[in-house]
Structure 1
Amino acid sequence: MLNRRTLLAASLATGLAGCSRSAPPDGLLRVATTNLPDSLDPARGEFASAALAYKQLHAGLTEYAADGSVAPGLAESWTFREDGRRWYFHLRDGLTWSDGHPLTAEDVVWSARRLVDPAQSFAQLGDFFAIENARAVLAGEMLPEAMGVAALNERSVEFRLTNPLGLLPVLMREFYPFPRHVIERHGADWVRPENLVTAGAYTLTGESQLHLSMTRNPAYYDAARVAIPAIRLDAVQDAATRVRLFRAGDYDLADQPPANQIGFLRDRLGERFRSFDAPILRYLKLNHARAPLAAAETRRALSGAIDRAFIAGEFFAGTASPTRHVVPVIDPEAGAAGASPALEIGRPLQIRTTPGDNERIALAVADDWQRAGVETEIFVTYATDLYQAVDAGDYDVAVASFNRGLKADPFFMLDPFAPGGFADNFNWQDAEFAGAMARARRETDPAARALAYQQAEARLFEETAIIPLLHERAHWMVSDRVAGTRSDIQPMLWRELSLLPTELE
C-alpha cells in the first residue's frame, strides 16, 4: 500500500518547464481541454466536454448571460400561467439554421419529443421531468406526440407541466433544438462536419479524434456580436502537458491544471492563471447494492475516517474546501478525520478511479481506511471504462466528480443525485429524499424551493448516501491575447470573448 509520503514524493517538475513561444494564428482561439465531446448530438452527449462544446455550437431556448444568469436565447421572451404549470416561449423573428432553413416553433416541439423518445435518442427525462406525459413517452407507454409541448404558431411554444416549475427558463438554457430537416435526411450522421447544421454562434468545420474546428455562424441571431472568427478545440488528456503547451504559447485557454501544481502556477503565471467559484463536487460514489455498503453505519464510519483537510491542502494547494455536504455550507467538522473504531468489512473494498488527481485521492483514502482496518484494491482505468463499470454496478467505491459549469443554483448540485439524475447510479432509493427533491423542483417561490433543497440535502447527509470530499474551484489558464473574460465567471462562453494582437518577445 502506498502511503502519504509516497504521494507527496510525486514530482512537481513535469510540465513546469517553460518553452519558447510561437506566433498564434490571427483570429483563431486555441483551447485545450481534457477530452473532446463523446457526441456532438445533445441527445447523446454525457461528458462535461460535450456541454462545453454545445455552448458554442448550439443555441438554447434561453441562454446564459455574460454574468451566468438567464437571458433570451432563441426565445426572446417567456411567460407562465397557472402558477407555473403552463409556460409560453416566444421565438425571435426570422430565426434560421446555419444552412438558411427557417427555425420555427415546430422544430422546438419536435426536438423536445426527440429527447425523451427511446426510438430517437439516448432518451432521458433530463430537464423535461415535469412535462406532461414525458415519463410515459420515455417508458414507451405513449407516443411522443402525447408529450405536453405544442406549437401555437410559427413563433410560440407551449409547455404543459404536471407540477409547477419555477426554474423552467433556467433549465431551458441547455435545451438545444435540433434541425429536424437534417436529422431526417442523415440520421445519426447529422453531426458529421459535412452535415452538421446548428443555430449557435459557431458551426463545425473539422473533426478528428484530437480536435474540433469551428467557425463563426453568420446565421446566428446575434452574429454581429461574435468577435472571434474561428476556434480550435484540442483534447490534451494529460494535465501537465496542457500546462506545458499553454506556457509555450500553443493555447489561449486551457482548463484543469494538475491539482498539485496550482500553487506554483498561480505564482508563475500571475494574471494568466484564473480561479473561479464553481459548482464542483469531488466525492466517493458508493454501491449500495454491495454488502457491507448497504449499511448506513458502515458508510458513516468510512466517511469519518477520511482526512479531507489533508487532501485539500496537499493536492489542491488549499483552493478546495473539505466538505461532508453536497451543497456548500460552513462545516467546521469537515476537515480532519475522526477517531474511527476498527471496521469489520470482511473483504477488501474495490476503489475504481481514473489517472491523475482522482488516483492520488484514491490512494489517500485507501491510506486512511487502512488505518481504520479496511483493506482496499485500487483499479485505475480511463474515464469511459469507469463510467461503464459504474453503470453496470461493477464497483464498490468510485472516485467521482462533476462540474456544473455556469449553473450556480443549489438545484444543480443536488439534481444529479435525484431519481433520474445523471449521478443516480449507486443503487440508493429513498422516498424522503425523492419527495424533497420533487417539492424543490415544482416550487416557484425561491424561499420554499430553498427549504425543500435543504431538506433533501439533510437526508442525503443523514444517510451518507455518498461521501462528499471537496468543493473545488475551477481553474483556467488564459493567455494575454484573450479579452472579454470576467473575474467571476468561467471563460466558457466564447462568443463573449475577443482576441488582441500579441507581441512576442
Structure 2
Amino acid sequence: MTTSAAALAGCGRSGDVEAGTLRVGISNLPDSLDPARGQFASAALIYKQVHAGLTEYGPNGQLAPGLAERWEVTPDGLAWTFILREGLAWSDGRPLTAHDVAWSARRLVDPAHSFATLGDFQNVVNARAILAGEAPVESLGVEVVSDQAVRFNLESPLGLFPLLMREFYPFPRHIIERVGDDWITPANWVSGGAFTLASISQVQIGLRRNPHFYDATNVSIRTIRVEAVRDDATRARMFRAGELDLADNPPANQLDFLREQLGDGFRSFDAPILRYLKINHDRRPLDDAMVRAELDYAIDRGFLVRELFSGAASPTRSVLPQMFQDQNDPLRMRPEGAPPLIDRPLQIRTTTGLGERMAVALADDWRQIGVESEIFATYPTDLYQAVDAGDFDIAIASFNRGLKSDPFFMLDPFAPDGFAANFNWHDEHFAELMNRARRESDPGEREEIYREANAHIQLEHAIITLVHDRAHLLVGERVSGTRADVQPQVWRYLELDDA
C-alpha cells in the first residue's frame, strides 16, 4: 500500500474535480472491507460509509436509529430486541431482514470465518464457547422474532448494548454464500450502507452513493475517492494544492504552521485518542512491575508534547482523559551506583515518522537511567505482525476510538478480549472490573468502576501511557455540514458546494 506524491500527481488536481465527488486522504487503506476481518482504524472509518449498523452515530455523534428504528430491553436486562425499519434493502435491491441480521451475528463469532475478537458480542449467550470451538455456531443467543425483529439474549446485563451495535454491520448472506470471500470485490459488492464499493486498488478506493440506502434522499454526495497517502506531510501538501477535500492526521510538527496558513480549513476536535507503550510482559525483566515503573517515571512527557505535538496534546499517566487522572509525578532518576535496570539493549518497535521521533526521545530518556535502546521502525503492518507474534520488548502504539466517548471504549481494548490486549498481560482483577462495568446499568456506578480499573492498570504499569492527543483534520472549502464539536467521520452527513 505504499504511495508517493509523484504516483498521485495526476489524480484529482483542483481543476479536475468532478461535481459531487468527495476526495479524502488517509494514511492507509483498510486491511479488509469485511468487518469480520478488518482490524485497522482505517477499516473502521470506511465501514461507517459502506455498511449500516443496527444503530448509528447521529450527526451530533450520539446514539441514533440505524437499520433498527427502535429497540427495547427486558426488565432483567438479559434480552435486547431490535425492530427494523420497514422496506430495508441491500444495495442490489434485495430485502434486508432480521434473518440477515441473525445470520451475520453467527458469522461474526464463527472462528472459521471471522478474525475479529468477540468485542461487542462477548456477552451474547454462547459467544465465547463458539469462538473457542466448544459450541456450534447455531447455539448463539440470537433469534429471529419476525422478519423485522431480532432478539439478542445475553449471559449478563449490558446497558451499553445499543451503543455497541453502532458497529455491528449485517453481511449480505445471499452474496457470501454464492461467492465466499470474493464478496468484498467491486464486482460482487453488496452492502446496506450509504455508499457502495465502486473500485479498489493498492492506493485508492472509490465509493458510489447507494440508492437503496434507507436514508438515501438525504445523502447529497454522489461519489467518494479515498486516497492512501502514507506520509503525513505529503497528505497535507496534497490538501494545500487542492487535491483533497479532507485529509486526516496532519504532521504533528506542522500543526502551528497549518493552523496559521489554513484558518478555518484546520480543525481540531476533542477525541478519545491515546498514545502509549505496549510492554511485553513475557520478556524479562519487563515482567517486573518495578522495572516497568522505572521506565515509566523516566519519560519526559512534557518534552513529547512541546516538541512533537506542538502543544496540541496532554501528557498523561492515565488511560482515561484528564478528568479521571491525578497530576503527573515528576521525573525520577535512579540513584547513582544503583545496579543496571536492564542488562541488554531494550528493543523499541514503532512506525516511521512521528513514531520514530517518539522512539528517539524515549531512548534518550531511558539512557539517563542507564538503559540503552535499539529502535526498529517499520510499516504499520510489519509492526502489528511483530507485536502479535510477541517479537518485541516495547512497542509504540495508539488508538483513536473515533466518535466513541464513553470511558468504556478507552479501557475495554485492554480487557482480555480487547483489540489492544496483545502484550501478554493477564490480570484477573482488571478483567473482573471490566465485566462489572459491562453489567452495570447505572452511569454513576459505572464511572466508579472505570476509575478503579483505570487506577489498577496505572498502578500495575501494565502499559505506559504517554499523551492524550486531539484529532486534527484538514477540511476543504467545498465541504460543508461539519460540526465544530464532532469529527466528520460519517461522510453521508457532509455536503459539497457542487453536489
Q: TM-score, normalised by structure 2?
A: 0.95
1:447 Cα deviation (Å)? 1.0
Determine the structure 2 residue equivalent to 1:423.
420
Pairing 1:454–2:451 present: yes
In 1, Cα distance between equivalents of 2:401 and 2:417: 17
Determine the structure 1 residue equivalent to 2:438.
441
Pairing 1:334–2:331 present: no
* Matching residue within 14, 21, 24 for 2:17: 24
* Matching residue within 452, 465, 470 for 2:467: 470
1:120 Cα deviation (Å)? 1.9
Determine the structure 2 residue equivalent to 1:487.
484
Identity over aligned residues, as a percent? 61
Give the unaligned 5+ runs of structure 2.
Answer: 1-12
In 2, Cα distance between equivalents of 1:146 and 1:402: 33
In 2, Cα distance between equivalents of 1:488 and 1:94: 33
* Residues 276-297 of structure 1 deviation map (CA, whole Å, 9 limit, x = unaligned): 0000000010000000110111
Alignment check: 8 A CA contact 2:104 2:170 kept? yes
Determine the structure 1 residue equivalent to 2:263.
270
In 1, Cα distance between equivalents of 2:48 and 2:334: 46
Determine the structure 2 residue equivalent to 1:253.
246
Give the unaligned 5+ runs of structure 1.
Answer: 1-19
Alignment check: 8 A CA contact 1:322 1:335 kept? no
Instruction: Give the counterpart letter for 2:131 in structure 1.
Output: L
Alignment check: 8 A CA contact 2:35 2:169 kept? yes
RMSD over aligned CA atoms reads 1.3
Alignment check: 8 A CA contact 2:39 2:116 kept? no
* Matching residue within 83, 91, 97 for 1:90: 83
* Residues 102-125 of structure 1 deviation map (CA, whole Å, 9 limit, x = unaligned): 111010000000001011221521
Pairing 1:154–2:151 present: no
Instruction: Give the counterpart letter for 1:455 in structure 2.
Output: E
| Equivalent residues in 2 for 1:209-224, closer than 5 Å | 209-224=202-217
| Equivalent residues in 2 for 1:7-46, closer than 5 Å | 21-46=14-39
In 2, Cα distance between equivalents of 1:329 and 1:167: 23
Pairing 1:141–2:134 present: yes
Where 1:84 maps in the other structure, the secondary structure is coil
Corresponding pairs, count = 483
1:501 Cα deviation (Å)? 4.1
Alignment check: 8 A CA contact 2:117 2:419 kept? no
Determine the structure 2 residue equivalent to 1:228.
221
* Matching residue within 118, 126, 151 for 2:119: 126
1:83 Cα deviation (Å)? 2.9
Alignment check: 8 A CA contact 1:306 1:336 kept? no
Where 2:272 maps in the other structure, the secondary structure is strand
Pairing 1:344–2:341 present: yes
Alignment check: 8 A CA contact 1:309 1:335 kept? no
Alignment check: 8 A CA contact 2:297 2:329 kept? no
In 2, Cα distance between equivalents of 1:309 and 1:334: 10
In 1, Cα distance between equivalents of 2:91 and 2:223: 15
Instruction: Give the counterpart letter for 2:64 in structure 1.
Output: A
Pairing 1:195–2:188 present: yes
Instruction: Give the counterpart letter for 1:49 in structure 2.
Output: S
Alignment check: 8 A CA contact 1:308 1:337 kept? no
* Residues 405-456 of structure 1 deviation map (CA, whole Å, 9 limit, x = unaligned): 1100000000100011000011111111111010001111111111111111
In 1, Cα distance between equivalents of 2:110 and 2:491: 31
| Equivalent residues in 2 for 1:360-375, closer than 5 Å | 360-375=357-372
* Residues 148-189 of structure 1 deviation map (CA, whole Å, 9 limit, x = unaligned): 000011011111001000000000000000000000001000
In 2, Cα distance between equivalents of 1:124 and 1:264: 40
Alignment check: 8 A CA contact 1:90 1:155 kept? yes
In 1, Cα distance between equivalents of 2:103 and 2:33: 18
Determine the structure 2 residue equivalent to 1:115.
108
* Matching residue within 156, 164, 175 for 2:157: 164
Instruction: Give the counterpart letter for 2:148 in structure 1.
Output: R
In 1, Cα distance between equivalents of 2:67 and 2:79: 19
Where 2:15 maps in the other structure, the secondary structure is coil
Where 2:322 maps in the other structure, the secondary structure is coil
1:474 Cα deviation (Å)? 0.3
Instruction: Give the counterpart letter for 1:373 in structure 2.
Output: G
Instruction: Give the counterpart letter for 1:480 in structure 2.
Output: E
In 2, Cα distance between equivalents of 1:325 and 1:339: 21
Where 2:258 maps in the other structure, the secondary structure is helix
In 1, Cα distance between equivalents of 2:477 and 2:215: 26
* Matching residue within 280, 287, 292 for 1:287: 280
Determine the structure 1 residue equivalent to 2:56.
63
Instruction: Give the counterpart letter for 2:332 in structure 1.
Output: G
In 2, Cα distance between equivalents of 1:23 and 1:95: 36
In 1, Cα distance between equivalents of 2:111 and 2:472: 37
Where 2:370 maps in the other structure, the secondary structure is coil
